[in-house]
């Protein structure tokens, strides 16, 4: 059983994300997605349109995704790889020179950096839709506590 792990915010899910997940899943037998929490996004200087819970449910509906875990900080990657016995971490190639991956995971697992899908990004979508500020489209999901 070859286990693959990837990280990301996956906000306003688009075909660039789907293409990444499809190719990541093809690198093994199961794919775990470490999804950036809202708090970690704040550390990354990002504010997602959708809450963590909504982004998690959208990812869980994708056939390529087997499990979604929270990404809460930069430092958790080595322990994630050990805990889930990961063979390969897959990211878009915009991360290929980032020490949070290369230095942190060197020797622990394989790393694959895939070409990003051109012409699409969450920030471009926001710009094109002239979203002035992130609004959580659905304030809470049915069954979520008030
Ligand atoms: N991606 C892609 N093509 C695009 C847009 C994104 O291949 N057109 C990839 C990115 O390279 C990344 C993944 O899709 O591997 C998720 O992208 P984001 O949600 O933007 O994630 P990011 O903000 O890069 O967070 O610790 C790492 C971070 O959590 C990654």
What average pLDDT does the segment 37-60 reach?
A: 96
Residues annotated as catalytic are: 44, 46
**What's the CA gap between 121 and 77, in Å, rounded?**
24
Distance 114 CA to ligand 1 centre (A): 11
For residue 17 the two structure tokens come to 């994300």
What average pLDDT does the segment 43-70 reach?
A: 96
The residue that leads in pLDDT, 5 or 142, is 5
Q: pLDDT-based confidence at 87, cuts 50/70/90?
A: very high
CB 54 within 8 A of CB 135: no
What average pLDDT does the segment 40-63 reach?
A: 96
Q: Whose CA is nearest to atom 16 of ligand 1?
A: 8
Radius of gyration of the chain (CA): 15
Task: Assess whether the C-beta atom of 37 lies below 6 angstroms from ligand 1.
Answer: no
Give pTM, 2 decimals. Answer: 0.90
- Which of 6, 15, 17 is the best mutation target for the ligand 1 pocket, counting ligand atoms within 8 Å of the beta carbon and taking the most? 17
Residue 56's closest CA among 131, 118, 144, 129? 144
Cα angle 105, 50, 143 (rounded to 5 degrees) comes to 110
Task: Assess whether the C-beta atom of 92 lies below 6 angstroms from ligand 1.
Answer: yes
For residue 131 the two structure tokens come to 């979203």
């Amino acid at each position: 059983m070859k286990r693959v792990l990837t990280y990301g915010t996956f906000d306003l899910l688009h075909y660039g994300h789907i293409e990444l997940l499809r190719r990541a899943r093809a690198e093994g037998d199961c794919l775990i997605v470490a999804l950036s929490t809202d708090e970690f996004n704040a550390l990354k200087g990002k504010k997602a349109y959708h809450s963590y819970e909504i982004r998690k449910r959208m990812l869980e509906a994708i056939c390529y995704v087997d499990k979604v875990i929270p990404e809460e900080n930069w430092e958790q990657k080595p322990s994630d790889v050990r805990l889930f016995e990961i063979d390969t971490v897959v990211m878009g190639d915009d991360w290929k020179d980032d020490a949070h991956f290369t230095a942190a995971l060197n020797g622990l697992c394989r790393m694959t950096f895939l070409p990003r899908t051109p012409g699409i990004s969450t920030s471009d979508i926001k710009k094109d839709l002239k979203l002035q500020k992130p609004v959580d489209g659905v304030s809470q999901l049915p069954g979520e506590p008030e």
